[in-house]
Structure 1
């Protein structure tokens, strides 16, 4: 008896993968075929593909087209379409119209997007929110653009907050995102091109650019990379970004991620290419340089002296965030002679009863600061800021009173942490925060010489990075003609050229006044 059961199980295990593989191959072969003129055959094929009635949101409705005296059915996903428009503009017109007509376009009041015959293509359109109409005897299927996805409206940007300038941000509906860009660039040369990037999910990526500006070489390079992706699903632009980067393990980002349509539009006007995707409240800007990462949209909305002041402050904050902790370790451990005597006595007095070396103090407080920072982001928003402030105050005060941490370390960590908040780009912010720990270890082993050596190696590394063929430090090095909008920007009427590293078709954006 046991032997019989084991044989049955083995037989089942040996046959099931083969049956499954055969079933998948049959489905692939079916999708490569065209639809039939036979009503019943088409109905059974699409019910089988969409697992009707098991699949509850797939709706199939059969009826008779009175004007043609022929049977028909429509199929759509009820969760992705405007059901009222389907009922009033398509179904009721087909059922009630008695005037003879040979064209479906003359009967329905809803515009026909296209007619198509391939089963696989029809399936892709249906899963995208398109309604398909099949009529007995017709060799093609009629597709209607009835998509209506639900989502949040246009709101303020949460991560890229500015005081002066536009407040609207991208949302999860790609139609709204495209409209936000078109609202800012009213030009017939603005191209919105779509490309499918995954096999199973079949998600569309939209390439937005100006055909009279963007380089054909850059455009083809991006399209080739998108076509070369061999994956089942890419659900968000953040995941797509990791597939597109030339060095995905690099600490510093080479693709600019933004949720502001005004920022995306300004890069399009320079000759860049912007990527949008459904369900992603953001965009990717290609290519990106280091200078684009440290700039903010507000730099251009403010008057030139104010914008430059903010830029210099941001650059200083970036250096403080990266080097403050490591500099403190270096001068207290290796370069005491650099400290004025009075300050040295003050530091020595505060550290007299602290049992740990300075590098341990710094690491303890840096990790504690990062924990408090992440905890404040992850907890519900009403209590998040409170937890951050209270946690930092209580932890710092208790550590000083317990003689575990010296007061000056609290000052250094607070200054370093606050400076990191000024860096608006999320990816660059993470890069600086992680680099800070590398500089701490370098300074702890070799003092300022170690931190300086690591900084020089870092510059060499950054100079080797490229974003779709564009050097990371362009147009500073290598030298390209541009508006020289790097650290200090000129007044608007002096910014005459588009970035030369993009090889734009029209390099001059403003004639001499």
Structure 2
């Protein structure tokens, strides 16, 4: 008896909790049905679904269609539609037109998008800003594309700032974002597919690709990943990005997020796939490699020598950002013999009254720099730069005068922090900043040997990463035949092939004479 009780208790505590569906079962069943031919039943059904009159932004207007002598009503969400257009092009012709006609399409001056009979599908369309028309005795509903949602206009890019090249950026309007891409790729092979990915909020994700380039296996893999998402709500593309990643806990990003339509268009022309989502002023590029995340869109707008010079500076900044602080700790603590005697005496003089070891100095200033950096981003924009500059000057000067920090540490931290700003991709920037702290701890424990060991382990880890089956360091390792736009960029006339790791249908980008 005792064993049975213990077994039942274990089953109770170890089993996963079962949650029942809390939605109204009657509404769920109702949405599976088709609309009625009876006017009164239809209007009561949709008033019940949208909780009218409690729901103040959902509008219902009843009237009589004069030419048909039939009662009708329209239903729409007032904050999402162009009400003037609804009145002028739909309601007014239906009420005033006296010419005999048996078709709604011949009466209204606004084009009928389509006809629907399912209640659930009609409800989904209304929540997207569509106007629905119901006519007494008609077994179908007429829907009109009257969506008009206010938002930002097309502005400059805030995060990916460049000197030369296009300045426009995506905004929160999906129609504007598609238009910005189509403006750059005037090709009938550019496909825009819509997929619904959430249950309750019914958010649409648009898959954009060129059908004569894209790898069908990669496209299907992305569609399967989107179809496998089972959640009630994903409100932004940045949240969707975390659902799509193969390793969401990875320090380094495996998807590229950009707010520049020119950059998205260039990836599409190479055979990549782009995801767009309403209310998101950016897009996701799939798949993404380390080189795509590290390169800047300005590299291709500048002449080849200038672009390669900027790229060289970026690689140098990456090295300084990762290793400057850790090398200082390793050399001062473990490898003093590497420092010239004169420089060693100067450093010893500046550190004579500092009570902390070098690793504590570096960590204190690194954390202070990160705090100032985040404070400058979060405060109102007019005073943000002021806080960053004044805070750094006051904090650094005061720390040196109080003999808490040596002056050379200020130089090291300033170089390391400024170098991290050159890396434009936000996710890669965070990865480098966090990696810097890990390398600092490795240098504090084992010196140069610790830095080297952690760097080798990190490289092994990066090589193991994949983005939808594409190796992270492709086409360098494993080697693929491609345009070779990696460490340096060749002149545009030499870029003859698309990236080999994408396995596109057409590998040749331009043919040489």
Partner residue in 2 for 1:129: 129
User: Aligned equivalents of 2:332 and 2:429: distance in 1?
Assistant: 27
User: Aligned equivalents of 1:23 and 1:295: distance in 2?
Assistant: 48
Say whether 1:208 aligns with 2:205.
no
Partner residue in 2 for 1:397: 397
User: Aligned equivalents of 1:97 and 1:477: distance in 2?
Assistant: 70
Partner residue in 1 for 2:351: 351
User: Aligned equivalents of 1:230 and 1:24: distance in 2?
Assistant: 20
Partner residue in 2 for 1:10: none
Partner residue in 2 for 1:16: none
Instruction: Quote the offset at 1:173 in angstroms.
Output: 0.4
Partner residue in 2 for 1:79: 79
State the Cα deviation string for residues 5-31 of structure 1 (Å, max 9, x = none).
Answer: xxxxxxxxxxxxxxx968611111000
Say whether 1:483 aligns with 2:483.
yes
Partner residue in 2 for 1:58: 58
1:104-503 matches, within 5 Å, as: 104-503=104-503
| Count of aligned positions | 494
SS in 1 for 2:67: coil
Say whether 1:33 aligns with 2:39.
no
SS in 1 for 2:24: helix
User: Aligned equivalents of 2:22 and 2:68: distance in 1?
Assistant: 40
Structure 1: stretches of 5+ with no match in the other structure = 1-19
User: Aligned equivalents of 1:485 and 1:196: distance in 2?
Assistant: 36
State the Cα deviation string for residues 229-261 of structure 1 (Å, max 9, x = none).
Answer: 000000000000000000000000000000000
State the Cα deviation string for residues 444-476 of structure 1 (Å, max 9, x = none).
Answer: 000010011000000000000000010000000
1:89-108 matches, within 5 Å, as: 89-108=89-108
Pick closer, same or farther for the CA change 1:21–1:357 going to 2, 3 Å: closer
SS in 1 for 2:413: helix
State the Cα deviation string for residues 168-222 of structure 1 (Å, max 9, x = none).
Answer: 0000001000000000000000001110111111010011110000111111111
Partner residue in 2 for 1:506: 506
SS in 2 for 1:89: helix
User: Aligned equivalents of 1:361 and 1:292: distance in 2?
Assistant: 35
Structure 2: stretches of 5+ with no match in the other structure = 1-19
User: Aligned equivalents of 2:228 and 2:366: distance in 1?
Assistant: 41
State the Cα deviation string for residues 94-114 of structure 1 (Å, max 9, x = none).
Answer: 000011111110000000000
Pick closer, same or farther for the CA change 1:472–1:34 going to 2, 3 Å: same
SS in 2 for 1:219: helix
Instruction: Quote the offset at 1:357 in angstroms.
Output: 0.1
User: Aligned equivalents of 2:481 and 2:48: distance in 1?
Assistant: 60
Partner residue in 2 for 1:24: 24
SS in 2 for 1:68: coil
State the Cα deviation string for residues 405-433 of structure 1 (Å, max 9, x = none).
Answer: 00000000000000000000000000000
State the Cα deviation string for residues 274-306 of structure 1 (Å, max 9, x = none).
Answer: 000000000000000000011111000000000
Instruction: Quote the offset at 1:265 in angstroms.
Output: 0.3
Pick closer, same or farther for the CA change 1:283–1:21 going to 2, 3 Å: closer
Q: Which runs of 4+ in 1 moved over 3 A?
A: 20-23
User: Aligned equivalents of 2:341 and 2:324: distance in 1?
Assistant: 20
User: Aligned equivalents of 1:62 and 1:342: distance in 2?
Assistant: 91
SS in 2 for 1:367: helix
User: Aligned equivalents of 1:139 and 1:416: distance in 2?
Assistant: 69
TM-score by length of 2: 0.96
SS in 2 for 1:112: coil
State the Cα deviation string for residues 62-106 of structure 1 (Å, max 9, x = none).
Answer: 001111111100000000000011000000000000111111100
User: Aligned equivalents of 1:147 and 1:66: distance in 2?
Assistant: 26
SS in 1 for 2:113: strand
User: Aligned equivalents of 1:172 and 1:162: distance in 2?
Assistant: 21
User: Aligned equivalents of 2:216 and 2:77: distance in 1?
Assistant: 38
Q: Superposition RMSD on alpha carbons, in Å?
A: 0.8
Q: Which moved more, 1:430-439 or 1:339-348?
A: 339-348
